[in-house]
């Protein structure tokens, strides 16, 4: 089943929808996920040298809005976790 387009914005929308559902069923886990996303966003801002844009805006601007951006997002997330920043 396929409900969207292969874009960074759709990944962001999907993840935020997941977080809303998680908040409804497990508040503690939701808080952990929210904190991890904020930490990733801070890490990404430092990496690209910007303070304001959201994680998905940075990836779209620097890595591309479609498949290349999604691929790079997964690589960046893996790097973020490997750095022990999460």
Q: pTM for the whole thing? A: 0.87
Residue 44 CB burial class (10 angstroms; 0-12, 13-18, ≥19): buried
The packing angle between helices 67-82 and 55-63, to 10°, is: 120
Evaluate whether residue 26 is within a structural domain.
Answer: yes
* Full residue range of the structural domain in which residue 63 is found: 8-82
Does 33 map to a domain?
yes
Q: What is the pLDDT along the chain (86 residues), one digit of tens a residue?
A: 566 789 999 999 999 999 999 999 999 999 999 999 999 999 999 999 999 899 999 999 999 999 999 999 999 999 999 998 66
Please tell me the distance from the alpha carbon of residue 9 to that of residue 46, in angstroms, as a whole number: 21
**Does 3 fall in a domain?**
no
74 falls within a domain:
yes
Q: How far is CA 49 from CA 7, 33, 40, 42, 66, in A?
A: 23, 24, 14, 10, 22
The total domain count for the chain is 1
């Amino acid at each position: 089943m396929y409900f969207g387009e292969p874009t960074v914005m759709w990944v962001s929308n999907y993840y935020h929808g997941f977080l809303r559902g998680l908040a409804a069923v497990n508040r503690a886990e939701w808080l952990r996920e929210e904190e991890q996303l904020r930490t990733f966003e801070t890490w990404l801002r430092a990496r690209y040298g910007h303070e304001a844009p959201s994680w998905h805006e940075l990836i779209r601007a620097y890595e591309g809005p479609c498949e290349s951006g999604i691929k790079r997002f997964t690589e960046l997330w893996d790097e973020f976790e490997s750095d022990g920043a999460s």
